[in-house]
């Protein structure tokens, strides 16, 4: 889609009719499904769920010639969810056996290659509590999680894989619980989050060697028991004496998420127990990097550019400040000269992530911007609020509000024709 707002169809005029269509689907009343989905699309042509369900309904009724148009709308708007799924849905199998259906299959297979390439060059951002891949080359937003606002934490677990944590109402007992899901950018696949059966705190880490997979520890920061979330989207208990694997890890407590990334390759400093230091030495050049006193560099935010010519980081400008004070700043330092340049300040914390050798994404008080270090005007991504790394929030930033139960969401459950159904009895997420 061209922007984040395009994904907001659940708040637009076509959604009341779509809810009627969902009830008709549950009652196996497919003529009503088709009629009410058409009404939803008449009110809002960008309602992708209505387009998908209309295509399924037309397939169910044998009206194969009419289903191509709504199917195109759904697959083009959210290819990751409805592109490959259109080749598997039972209601579309008769269509796929036709010459046009065979052409559709070839097109989906071809577009799948372009979709994965777009994800590879995109910056991953958070907006409205979900993850999107923003492709600057095509100025397009690709939705990669579909929790409708439940994502609270993200951790890279490989060059092309991302673990994400949600806070949601349990389908089983209606209590608030944490859940974890996996995104494979190289395959263009996202799993549904699997409930962990706890409100936390938890620790999320990744092991590439012993018991490879995402590790989830009960209790933070000193986890006492570990489970592994594997490629089959299953949770498996790890041996009792397991300890957190090396590498970055997330600490999740309530709605607060903190990234622990020390040590950072090629950087040494006298880090305190919060990962802060007044100066850092860049190993290859030996240059010492500092920020204006009494500022402190947050080592957990330090990140090298892909060519390792620059290092970006967040600094806390003062260890004492009033609530609401602008007390965090994003900096970039040249690895050869040690020259430090300030890029942005914020009161509500900052996060940085490289988009290219000379381009940096910054999440701050005004949302997310892509900044070109060579001087090209920055690009603002309207609706985006964060990046994969959580924001560094100065010690004077007020804490998050108390943990409370979540309200019931009438749209929380997927349609039976959804390509990402969850087998709740078995506790297994079926791959999309």
- Three-class SS of residue 64? helix
What does the pLDDT read at residue 236? 92
Q: Is position 168 within any domain?
A: yes
- Candidates 25, 101, 77; CA nearest to 416 is 25
Contact 377, 359 (CB under 8 A): no
Q: In this model, does residue 405 exceed pLDDT 70?
A: no
Q: In this model, does residue 417 exceed pLDDT 90?
A: no
Q: Is position 200 within any domain?
A: yes
Q: Is position 419 within any domain?
A: no
Gap between the Cα atoms of 356 and 373, Å rounded: 10
- Indicate if 115 and 231 belong to the same structural domain: no
Q: Is position 412 within any domain?
A: no
Q: What are phi and psi of 103, to 5 degrees?
A: -65, -40
- Indicate if 250 and 276 belong to the same structural domain: no
| CATH of residue 29 | 1.25.40
- Indicate if 9 and 108 belong to the same structural domain: yes
Q: Is position 136 within any domain?
A: no
For residue 37, the surrounding DSSP H or E stretch is: helix 30-43
pLDDT in tens, 232-271: 888 999 998 889 999 999 999 988 899 999 999 999 999 9
Q: Is position 404 within any domain?
A: no
| 8-state DSSP, 128 | T
What does the pLDDT read at residue 93? 97
Instruction: Give the domain range for residue 109.
Output: 4-121
Q: Give 109's contacts (C-beta < 8 A, 6+ positions apart).
A: none
- Indicate if 249 and 289 belong to the same structural domain: no
- Indicate if 279 and 197 belong to the same structural domain: no
State the total domains in the chain: 3
Gap between the Cα atoms of 21 and 52, Å rounded: 12
* Rounded average pLDDT over 38-56: 98
Q: How confident is the model at residue 117 (pLDDT cuts 50, 70, 90)?
A: very high
pLDDT in tens, 99-111: 999 999 999 999 9
Q: How confident is the model at residue 231 (pLDDT cuts 50, 70, 90)?
A: confident
Contact 59, 91 (CB under 8 A): yes
Q: How confident is the model at residue 407 (pLDDT cuts 50, 70, 90)?
A: very low
Residue with tokens 């459950």, as numbered in its chain: 413
- Residue ending a domain, among 236, 255, 274, is 255
pLDDT in tens, 198-226: 998 999 999 988 888 999 998 766 777 99
| 8-state DSSP, 98 | S
- Indicate if 248 and 313 belong to the same structural domain: no
Q: Is the torsion defined by CA of 187, 157, 257, 317 positive or negative?
A: negative
Q: Is position 427 within any domain?
A: no
pLDDT in tens, 159-196: 899 999 999 887 777 788 999 999 999 999 999 899 99
Q: Is position 14 within any domain?
A: yes
Gap between the Cα atoms of 85 and 193, Å rounded: 18
- Indicate if 160 and 266 belong to the same structural domain: no
What does the pLDDT read at residue 174? 79
- Indicate if 304 and 388 belong to the same structural domain: yes
- Residue ending a domain, among 75, 104, 121, is 121
The angle formed by the CA atoms of residues 219, 223 and 227, to the nearest 5 degrees, is 95
| CATH of residue 355 | 2.40.128
Own/partner pairs, 148-154, CB within 8 angstroms, 24+ separation: 148/10, 148/409, 148/411, 148/412, 150/179, 150/193, 151/126, 152/252, 152/255, 152/257, 153/204, 153/250, 153/252, 153/257, 153/390, 154/124, 154/126, 154/388, 154/390
- Indicate if 293 and 385 belong to the same structural domain: yes
- Indicate if 310 and 239 belong to the same structural domain: no
Q: In this model, does residue 283 exceed pLDDT 60?
A: yes
- Indicate if 10 and 66 belong to the same structural domain: yes
- Indicate if 390 and 272 belong to the same structural domain: yes
Gap between the Cα atoms of 225 and 216, Å rounded: 8
């Amino acid at each position: 889609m061209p922007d984040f707002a395009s994904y907001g169809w659940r708040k637009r005029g076509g959604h009341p009719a779509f809810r009627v269509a969902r009830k008709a689907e549950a009652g196996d009343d497919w003529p009503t499904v088709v009629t009410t989905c058409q009404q939803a699309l008449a009110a809002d042509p960008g309602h992708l769920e209505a387009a998908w369900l209309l295509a399924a309904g037309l397939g169910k009724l044998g009206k194969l010639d009419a289903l191509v148009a709504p199917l195109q709308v759904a697959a083009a708007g959210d290819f990751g969810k409805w592109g490959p799924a259109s080749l598997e849905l039972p209601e579309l199998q008769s269509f796929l056996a036709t010459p046009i259906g065979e052409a559709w299959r070839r097109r989906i297979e071809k577009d799948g290659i372009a979709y994965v390439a777009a994800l590879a060059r995109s910056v991953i951002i958070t907006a409205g509590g979900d993850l999107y891949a923003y492709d600057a080359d095509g100025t397009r937003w690709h939705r990669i999680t579909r929790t409708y606002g439940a994502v609270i934490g993200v951790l890279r677990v490989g060059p092309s894989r991302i673990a994400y944590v949600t806070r949601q109402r349990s389908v089983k007992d209606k209590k608030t619980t944490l859940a974890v899901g996996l995104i494979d950018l190289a395959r263009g696949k996202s799993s549904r989050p699997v409930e962990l059966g706890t409100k936390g705190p938890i620790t999320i880490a990744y092991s590439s060697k012993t018991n490879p997979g995402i590790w989830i520890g009960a209790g933070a920061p000193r986890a006492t028991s570990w489970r592994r979330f594997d490629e089959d989207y299953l949770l498996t208990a790890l041996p009792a004496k397991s300890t957190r694997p090396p590498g970055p890890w997330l600490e999740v407590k309530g709605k607060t998420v903190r990234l622990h990334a020390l040590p950072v390759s090629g950087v040494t400093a006298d880090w305190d127990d919060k990962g802060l230091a007044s100066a850092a030495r860049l190993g290859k050049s030996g240059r010492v990097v500092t920020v204006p006193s009494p500022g402190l560099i947050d080592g957990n935010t330090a990140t090298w550019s892909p060519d390792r010519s620059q290092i970006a980081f967040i600094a806390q400008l003062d260890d004492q400040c009033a609530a609401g004070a602008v007390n965090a700043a994003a900096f970039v330092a040249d690895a050869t000269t040690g020259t430090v340049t300030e890029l942005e300040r914020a009161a509500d914390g900052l996060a940085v992530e490289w988009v290219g050798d000379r381009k940096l994404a910054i999440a701050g008080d005004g949302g997310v911007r892509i900044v070109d270090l060579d001087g090209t005007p920055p690009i603002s991504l309207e609706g985006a609020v964060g990046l994969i790394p959580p924001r560094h929030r100065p010690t004077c930033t007020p804490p998050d509000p108390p943990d409370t139960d979540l309200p019931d969401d009438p749209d929380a459950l997927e349609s039976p024709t959804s390509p990402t159904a969850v087998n709740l009895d078995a506790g297994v997420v079926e791959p999309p």
